[in-house]
């Protein structure tokens, strides 16, 4: 399948906000929740997921092409929003995968209500604090330092940094940063209450981590695995903070193995 055949940008109004999302492919629903930097347009890594799934990739409220709703104060608002969003699209038996802030939102959804969830996959997820663990400050670093910290393979960072940050790209960058700060400025990208309730996650869970993640070091993976009942771990070597983009084949392989194992 090609990008043009499978990509399709849609929008839907949920709770007063117009939400933009990509949808393509066939199979079980896979709701992919993006991280701080947003998601942009249909990309080659999405083709690989769309080959196996009905892939749905929203711009979170406040990010990308979605509205910044009046009600958007914190991560809990996004969790309740996605419960409404799944209802609005009539999604059932949803596989949720979330990267970084998207993983955090996925956790906040799952501790509230798993009625529509089939599986949960966290990918280099925000949401928990490991006391004493050194972290990268995404808000105090330059665009270059931040971009370099995201990837293990610095040639990808080189290419990303060659793109000029101006016009629409600059507007989107600033919107995404704003929304990220709204959710994660303080406490810094975690919810102090989440750890108390992760035992409520009662769907099969996979915790994927890029072994060389410099945004959230791999030590955080163990904390999610410890707190979510029955959670499995998968580590992708030579990979940074965004395995779906940097190590797409390895990421798709572990995701497929996990989801098909649950089906069996």
Partner 1 sequence: MRVLAFHLMPYSEIDPSFYEKYGPAWVTLPNALFDRKAGYRLYNRFLDELEYADSAGFDGICVNEHHQNGYGMMPQPGVFAGALARRTTGWLALLGRALPLVNNPLNIAEEFAEIDQLTGGRLIAGFVRGIGSEYHSSGVNPTESHDRFHEAHDLIVRAWTEPGPFRFEGKYYDYEYVNTWPRTFQDPHPQIWIPSQGSSETIRFAAAKNHRYTYLQTFSPITAVAKYMQMYKDVANEQGYEATPDQLGWSLPIYCAATDEQAREEARPHAEMFVNKYLKISPEMLLPPGYTTVASIKGMMQAKAGMLVDRKLEDLLDSGMFIVGSPKTVREKLVEAQRQIGFGNLLMTIQFGTLPHDLTMNNIKLLAEEVVPYIKQHAKMSTAA
* Residues found near partner 1 in the complex (CB under 8 A): 139-142, 170-171, 174-175, 177-178, 180-182, 185-186
- Please count the helices (runs of H) and the strands (runs of E) in the chain: 11, 8
DSSP readout, 214-245?
SSS-THHHHHHHHHSTT-EEEEESS--S-HHH
Q: In the complex, what is the shortest distance from the CB of residue 180 to partner 1, in angstroms, rounded to a whole number? A: 7
Q: In the complex, what is the shortest distance from the CB of residue 236 to partner 1, in angstroms, rounded to a whole number? A: 29
168 vs 249, which CB is nearer to partner 1?
Answer: 168
1 vs 170, which CB is nearer to partner 1?
Answer: 170
Percent helix, strand and coil across the chain, each rounded to 5? Answer: 40, 20, 40
5 vs 170, which CB is nearer to partner 1?
Answer: 170
Q: In the complex, what is the shortest distance from the CB of residue 76 to partner 1, in angstroms, rounded to a whole number? A: 15
Contact 111, 201 (CB under 8 A): yes
92 vs 185, which CB is nearer to partner 1?
Answer: 185
Q: In the complex, what is the shortest distance from the CB of residue 124 to partner 1, in angstroms, rounded to a whole number? A: 21
Q: In the complex, what is the shortest distance from the CB of residue 191 to partner 1, in angstroms, rounded to a whole number? A: 14
Q: Which H or E element spans position 205?
A: strand 205-210
* Closest of 202, 13, 24, 180 to residue 116, by C-alpha: 202
115 vs 140, which CB is nearer to partner 1?
Answer: 140
Residue 91 CA to chain centroid, in angstroms? 18
143 vs 196, which CB is nearer to partner 1?
Answer: 143
Query: Does residue 32 sit in helix, strand or coil?
Result: strand
CA–CA dist 37, 27 (Å, integer): 27
Contact 136, 109 (CB under 8 A): no
Q: In the complex, what is the shortest distance from the CB of residue 154 to partner 1, in angstroms, rounded to a whole number? A: 21
Q: In the complex, what is the shortest distance from the CB of residue 62 to partner 1, in angstroms, rounded to a whole number? A: 10
92 vs 139, which CB is nearer to partner 1?
Answer: 139
CA–CA dist 68, 179 (Å, integer): 8
Residue 151 CA to chain centroid, in angstroms? 16
Contact 137, 124 (CB under 8 A): no
3: tokens are: 């990008």
């Amino acid at each position: 399948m090609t990008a043009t055949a499978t990509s399709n940008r849609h929008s839907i109004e949920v709770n007063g906000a117009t939400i933009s999302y990509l949808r393509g492919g066939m199979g079980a629903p896979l709701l992919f929740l993006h991280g701080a930097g947003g998601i942009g347009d249909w990309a080659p890594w999405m083709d690989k997921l769309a080959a196996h799934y009905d892939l749905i990739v929203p711009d979170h409220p406040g990010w990308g092409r979605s509205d910044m709703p009046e009600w958007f104060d914190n991560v809990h608002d996004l969790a309740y929003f996605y419960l409404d969003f799944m209802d609005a699209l009539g999604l059932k038996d949803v596989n949720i995968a979330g990267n970084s802030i998207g993983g955090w939102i996925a956790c906040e959804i799952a501790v509230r209500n798993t009625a529509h969830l089939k599986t949960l996959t966290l990918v280099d997820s925000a949401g928990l604090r490991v006391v004493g663990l050194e972290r990268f400050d995404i808000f105090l670093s330059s665009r270059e330092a931040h971009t370099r910290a995201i990837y293990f393979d610095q040639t990808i960072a080189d290419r990303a940094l060659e793109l000029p940050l101006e016009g629409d790209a600059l507007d989107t960058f600033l919107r995404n940063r704003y929304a990220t700060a709204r959710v994660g400025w303080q406490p810094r990208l975690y919810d102090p209450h989440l750890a108390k309730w992760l035992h409520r996650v009662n769907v099969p869970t996979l915790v994927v981590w890029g072994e060389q993640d410099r945004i959230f070091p791999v030590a955080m993976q163990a904390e999610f695995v410890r707190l979510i009942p029955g959670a499995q771990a998968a580590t992708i070597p030579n990979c940074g903070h965004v395995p779906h983009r940097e190590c797409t084949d390895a990421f798709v392989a572990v995701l497929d193995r996990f989801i098909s194992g649950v089906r069996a």
